[in-house]
Amino acid sequence: MSASDCLVTETPDVLRAALERADDGVVILDSAHRITHFNAAAERIWKLARADVLGRDAAALSLTCLQADPVVDFRDEISLVRRDGSRIKAAVSLASIVAEGAIHHIVFARDVTAEAERRVRIGLLNAVSDQTNRVVIITDTDQNIRYVNSTFTKLFGYTSAQAEGRRAAELIAGSHTNRKAVGKLVERLMHGGRRGEVETLVYDKDGEEIWVCARIDAFRDTKGRVKHFFALLEDITETRQLRSLQQLIMSALADEVPITEIADRLCRRVEQIAPDVVCSLLHVDSAGLVHPLGGPSLPEDYSRALDGIAIGPDVGSCGTAAFYGRPVLAIDLDTDPRWQPYKARPLQVGLRACWSTPIKAKDGRVIATFAFYFRQSRAPSNWHRRIVDACVDLGAFAIERKEARAEIARLAYHDILTGLPNRAQLRHLITTAIDACPTGGHVALAFLDVDHFKDVNDTLGHAAGDELLVQLAQRLREQIGPADMLGRLGGDEFVILLPNRNAESAARVAGQITDALSAPLRLGSKPMQMSASIGISLYPDHATDIDTLMQQADAAMYMAKQAGRSTHRLFSAEMNGLAEQRLALIAALRRAIAEDALTLSYQPQIRSRDGAVHGVEALARWHDPVLGEVSPAKFIPLAEECGLIEQIGLWSVREACRQMASWRRAGLNIPSVSVNLSPINFRHVALAARLADILAEYELPPNALMLEITEGTFMQDGAAALETMHAIRALGVGLSVDDFGTGYSSLSRLAHLPIRELKIDRSFMRDIEKDSAALAIATAVVRVGQGLGMTVVAEGVETEGQRKMLAELGCDVVQGFLYAPALAPVAFERWLIEHSAEQARAMLGRLDVAPRDAVAVKRSA
């Protein structure tokens, strides 16, 4: 007899008692579906008394599984509606047993309502935690993972099955995880502390770095004992780390931080967020030489040693990357053939691998390399690549800006043709030499002017003249000592600064130069005889200030010319007779102003876009009955020295306005007139009021007047000039920086001044067609000027080639002999009428072509 038979037929007392005690409800039915057993647990589940159900039909239990025919075995969780209408969730299983030829059914039932509710709640919580883009990790107090959400799987690559049971620290922490901070926080939580946050690097299943911000909290039981830790991890790789790199560069650029400082800051920040990396930035110059920009963690001697190395197909990682224009990885410096000459120092400080990425300018030129050195022999991770991706564009921008700036700075101090220091730089060099001169010592200043240079220019052309000047500069350089300095004032005038030389020693050098020039220079294959006259002044014997010393050297040079040229003269007191000539000239100028003998000529400024007249520049002319035509290049500096320039400036403004008003009345539409003012005019804030009066007098709008100022205006005694400039700008009158590129102004300074226009100095025009460097410079000035929202005017445009080039650069306005020289008013009116007619013809020509073009287009379509 089987156990079940026994149960049904003669249930022994022990079993009966056991059934009564069971947690599950047990119901037994006979073959006719009548209830034969109903234990205590069943009474609780169905809320029915045993007496009410025994012997009754199973339908009383409202179990659908019993209503099937035939009844089959069953196991499920079902909803049970009880007699009193209440509902519970019950786990029900039904088994059929055959005993003594009859079928019995035995039903086990358990109330699982609470469990089911908990399961639903957990399901909901899961769904919620899977919804968030934050990683959820729950651990026990030993930090074994008990739960992770789906974001965890997405971010780290481990399934919850792979994660659960593992120690969180083993699973996602790695070499650069801030275990200390996490440990401290956990410790604090264990002792009742509040939740906290830690920013740290963690690692995914493939070992890739992920920056997270982890907020860790503790779950406590009612007695306050910690039961679980709960961590919410936010991936801040993109949002905070990469963006912070970009912000670092941008804000440094905005603050005009020097590029080397930007590079150092960038490297340091990269090393913080990628602690495996030692970072460096090298600049690649236009000659293909590298120069360290930043690399604060590399040994200084190593960086220094890299300076000036030429890029090439097998020059370390950086030189090679720059050469090919693509990233280069050297997994093991020790064995990499490209690294053999350079490897010793990095290996010594424990750097084994180097990955370098080229940084390219907008035109595709490699301008820098961004290198990651590693302490292991390894390749960069995705994280490293993302860092580089995030930085290269901004890096390129920063470096390009630096290049443009350096170029403009170089321009400001160097003569383009010869590469020698220019007037501005010379003054600086002379001041330095004088300051450094010991008591009892001397500094000699020699002015050199080429004899009959004008003839060369006039007969052989400017190109030949330029070529000759370059050769001359070369020869002069060979004649001077290492401490001496050679510069070019402009034209055919050179200056030689001779520190620590007395009169005899300086005269000896001058003699050597005269001798050296006796050997002919070569123009192509033609020998060319050339000589120069030299004048020398001596600090402190002749004068102690630069201006007087220069005048004296100049006077001595004239004496050398008068002595028959090809010789030198030392300044002497008798030469002060020249000062008398100067006084006579000043008197004549005074008279000319008093008698209103100065006139203005007008040179048109042409808009590149459409050839229309943008404005005119008014240039002073002085015809003296005795001296003849005196060039403004001569009388303007004189007027500045003797205090006449203020008067000339105001006179020019008034005269230009009078002329404009007269033209406007006559129906000639000239948008504006530019008047040149001296820095001295800007010393009085009253200038703005005077301008307002003049404009009112001639009924001109303020935008009809533009003032050309030189960089000197806002470089010297700043405050008053600046106030005047702002007052003028407030008036609506424009300010234009004349001769841009020859002075000292820093671009950052320009950006903060109320300036509307930049005029590129005419010295840059000459080489713009043939010299790519000159073109690059003009490009930089145009870009920078327009970047600052200014109109850019190119002056001194003489050829169609130059005009075309400038138009391609996007230069707004051109001015020069190509269109017209400065013309007296009547001549200018004629020019304007002819120009307007030409404009109209050109426009008609375009209209004429248009219909035919339209037909052609239609046909081909």
Using the contact rule CB under 6 A, the part of the chain among 402-410, 647-655, 699-707, 805-813 near ligand C2E is 647-655
Q: In the block, which residue shows the tokens 């405050």? A: 719
Upper half-sphere CA count for residue 131 (Cβ side, 13 Å): 6
Around Cβ 576, how many Cβ atoms within 10 Å?
A: 12
Stretch that binds Ca ion, among 164-172, 542-550, 676-684, 698-706 (CB under 5 A): 676-684
Q: Collect all residues with Cβ–Cβ distance below 8 Å to 427 and sequence separation of at least 6.
A: 546
Instruction: Provide the token pair at 8.
Output: 């049904």
Q: Please list every residue from 772 through 801 that binds Ca ion, using CB under 5 A.
A: 795
Binding mask 588-617 for ligand C2E (x = CB under 6 A): ---------------x--------------
- Answer yes or no whether residue 334 interacts with Ca ion by CB under 5 A: no
Give the one residue of 80, 259, 550, 619 binding ligand C2E; rule: CB under 6 A.
619
What residues contact residue 520 under an 8 Å CB cut-off, 6+ apart? 527, 528, 529, 530
Q: How far is the CB of 478 from ligand C2E (least distance, A)?
A: 30
Residue whose entry in the numeric block shows the structure tokens 């901070």: 181
Is 659 a binding residue for ligand C2E by CB under 6 A? The answer is no
Binds 636, which of Ca ion, ligand C2E, none (CB < 5 to 8 A, cut-off by type)? ligand C2E
Q: Which stretch binds ligand C2E (CB under 6 A): 70-78, 483-491, 630-638, 786-794?
A: 630-638
Contact 200, 212 (CB under 8 A): yes
What gap in Å lies between CA 465 and CA 459, rounded to an integer?
A: 9
Choose from ligand C2E, Ca ion, none: what does 677 bind? Cβ within 5-8 Å by kind.
Answer: ligand C2E
By CB under 5 A, is residue 812 in contact with Ca ion?
no
Q: What track of x and - describes contact with ligand C2E for positions 714 through 743 (by CB under 6 A)? A: ------------------------xx----
> What's the DSSP call for residue 812?
S
Taking CB under 5 A as the binding criterion, the range among 159-167, 268-276, 438-446, 668-676 that sits at the site for Ca ion is: 668-676
Angle at alpha carbon of residue 84, lines to 82 and 88, rounded to 5°:
40
- The binder of 633, among ligand C2E, Ca ion, none, by C-beta within 5 to 8 A per type, is ligand C2E
Choice between 381 and 763, CB closer to ligand C2E: 763
Binding range to ligand C2E, per CB under 6 A, among 201-209, 378-386, 625-633, 843-851:
625-633
H/E element, 583 = helix 577-594
CB of 841 to Ca ion, least distance (A): 31
> How many residues of this chain bind ligand C2E (CB under 6 A)?
25
- Is 631 one of the binding residues for ligand C2E (CB under 6 A)? yes
Q: Which of 12, 87, 251, 817 contacts ligand C2E by CB under 6 A? A: 817
Where are the extended beta strands (E) located within 545-672? 568-570, 598-607, 613-624, 628-630
Return the HEC string of 139-197: EECCCEEEEECHHHHHHHCCCHHHHCCCEHHHHHCCCCCCHHHHHHHHHHHHCCCCCEE
Cα separation, 848 vs 846, in Å, equals 5
Interface with ligand C2E, residue 82, by CB under 6 A: no
Tokens representing 530? 């050339």
User: Which 695-714 residues touch ligand C2E, going by CB under 6 A?
Assistant: 708
For position 677 contacting ligand C2E by CB under 6 A, the verdict is yes
In the chain, DSSP finds a helix count (H) and a strand count (E) of 30, 31
**How far is residue 348's CA from residue 782's CA, in Å, rounded to a whole number?**
48
Q: Which does 148 bind (CB under 5 to 8 A by kind): ligand C2E, Ca ion, none?
A: none
CA dist 318 and 328 (Å) reads 7
Asked, as a colleague might, if the bond just before 70 is cis with ω within 30 of 0, I would say yes
Minimum distance, C-beta of residue 603 to ligand C2E, in the bound complex (Å): 6
- As measured in angstroms, the least distance from the Cβ of 759 to ligand C2E is 7
Residue 636 binding ligand C2E, by CB under 6 A: yes
Token duo for residue 343: 């490897």
Per-residue string for binding with Ca ion, 688-727, x by CB under 5 A?
Answer: --------------------x-------------------
Contacts of 448 (CB under 8 A, 6+ apart): 476, 493, 494, 495, 496, 513, 532, 533, 534, 557
Given candidates 209, 400, 655, 738, which one binds Ca ion under the rule CB under 5 A? 738
User: Which residues of this chain interact with ligand C2E, rule CB under 6 A?
Assistant: 603, 619-620, 631-633, 636, 648-649, 652, 676-678, 708, 738-739, 762, 795-798, 816-817, 821-822
User: Which residues of this chain interact with Ca ion, rule CB under 5 A?
Assistant: 676, 708, 738-739, 795
